[in-house]
Amino acid sequence: MAKRQNNASEDTQMNEIMKAPDMDFINIDFEFFDPQPIDFHAFKNLLKQLLGYDHTNVNISALSDLILSQPLLGSTVKIDGNNSDPYAMLSVINLNSRREEPVIKELTSYVLSRIAASNPNMEKQVRELLSPDSNAQIGLIINERLINMPVQVIPPMYNMLLEEMQWAIDANEPYNFTHYLLLSRSYVEVASKLDDEDERPKKKGKKAGEQELCYFHPEDEQFRQAGLAVADYSFANQDFNPDMNRVFQDAGIKPQGESILLTHDAFKSLVPQLLDVYNA
CA distance 224 to 45: 26
- 180: helix, strand or coil: strand
Delineate the domains of the chain, giving CATH numbers in brackets: 4-277 (3.40.630.30)
**b/e burial code for range 225-263 (CB count within 10 A of at least 16 → b):** ebbebbbbbbbeeeeeebeebbeeeebbbbbbbbbbbbb
Please report, for residues 39, 111, 219, 260, the alpha-carbon distance to residue 119 in angstroms, rounded to integers and kept in the order given. Answer: 34, 12, 21, 11
Task: Please say if the pLDDT value at position 35 is more than 60.
Answer: yes
Q: What local confidence, expressed as pLDDT, does residue 247 receive? A: 46
The dihedral built from the CA positions of residue 269, 218, 92 and 107, taken in this order, carries a sign that is: negative
Who wins on pLDDT, 106 or 200?
106
CA distance 72 to 3: 10
* CB count in 10 Å sphere of residue 119: 19
Task: Please say if the pLDDT value at position 203 is more than 90.
Answer: no
- Its pTM stands at 0.85
Of the ranges 5-19, 87-101, 140-154, 202-216, which one carries the lowest mean pLDDT score? 5-19
Task: Please say if the pLDDT value at position 279 is more than 90.
Answer: no
pLDDT digits (tens, 9 = 90+) for 222-258: 999 999 999 999 999 977 555 555 444 556 788 999 9
Q: What local confidence, expressed as pLDDT, does residue 19 receive? A: 47
**Per-residue pLDDT averaged across 112-131, rounded?**
98
**b/e burial code for range 162-197 (CB count within 10 A of at least 16 → b):** eebbeebeeeeeebebebbbbbbbbbbbbbbeebee
**Per-residue pLDDT averaged across 114-140, rounded?**
97
pLDDT digits (tens, 9 = 90+) for 219-232: 999 999 999 999 99
Task: Please say if the pLDDT value at position 8 is more than 50.
Answer: no
For residue 184, give the amino acid letter.
S
